[in-house]
Structure 1
């Protein structure tokens, strides 16, 4: 049994982050590589980030996509698909995953060191954070 599941957690133990599966016209999804110096550096992930105090998840995702990859997204274009709930050693991650098929602007990597457009089945062999891995199957069934 996972000992984290049997332990009580506090609000401070939970990190709420949002992620986005940007889907292009060919059904490929964007993944970006985490930069050096950040936790889980070098792993591939869906763009997104931390929800700040007072932000709704959609607001946070719109802000993060602008900051990280320079695109403009509206809340109307974000469709919630699923979420990840994963216990790491020192915190519990709760991460809604949204799908977006329409955005303005060109992808510019402001933080990530690399990016790839992949079909969901092509993501199986990527080194990704543990919380992201189960999301691939949901994307595969949706795209």
Structure 2
């Protein structure tokens, strides 16, 4: 089974979290599901560098993050591949971005996140965000 190391950005603007919806996929279990944006880590890249690059490529959004913004790692085995996903909190002042690879998006407060149909690997992050104080004190 193929295994991938990936990064995901928990993009926060004005106290809301950016939730991106995938388009159609050859894998039914991730098709049209919501996810945190990001992508694969390339050889020699630090996780934070990979996330900055992926968000720029996929959304034309600039984020300033470091390893200190690390939130959590999820290991998930899908039927056809497995991923190790490292997530980071990315606070931005400008909520604008260009949607180039996803089909839809939502800005939601942390208590609203579970109302979406998330990709299975992202669910543990959503659950941890609900229980976390990381967004407390943010404007909503």
TM range (shorter): 0.7 to 0.9
TM-score for the superposition, normalised by structure 2: 0.83
Task: Report what 2:112 is aligned to.
Answer: 122
1:73 aligns with 2:63: yes
Structure 2 SS opposite 1:67: helix
Distance 2:42 2:62 in 1: 19
Task: Report what 2:8 is aligned to.
Answer: 19
Among 70, 92, 95, the alignment partner of 1:102 is 92
Stretches of structure 2 lacking an aligned partner (at least 5 in a row): 136-140
1:28 aligns with 2:24: no
Task: Report what 1:43 is aligned to.
Answer: 33
Stretches of structure 1 lacking an aligned partner (at least 5 in a row): 1-11
**1:105 Cα deviation after fit:** 7.5
Query: Measured at CA, do residues 69 and 75 of structure 1 come closer, stay the same or move farther in structure 2, by a change above 3 Å?
Result: same
Relative CO higher for 1 or 2, CA cutoff 8 Å, sep ≥ 6?
Answer: 2
Among 31, 44, 55, the alignment partner of 1:54 is 44
Query: Measured at CA, do residues 78 and 34 of structure 1 come closer, stay the same or move farther in structure 2, by a change above 3 Å?
Result: farther
Distance 1:105 1:71 in 2: 9
Instruction: Supply the RMSD in Å over aligned alpha carbons.
Output: 2.1
Structure 1 runs (4+) deviating above 6 angstroms are: none
Deviation sequence 1:85-108 (CA, Å, 0-9, x none): 111123221101100113667211
Deviation sequence 1:18-44 (CA, Å, 0-9, x none): 00111112x210011112246422111
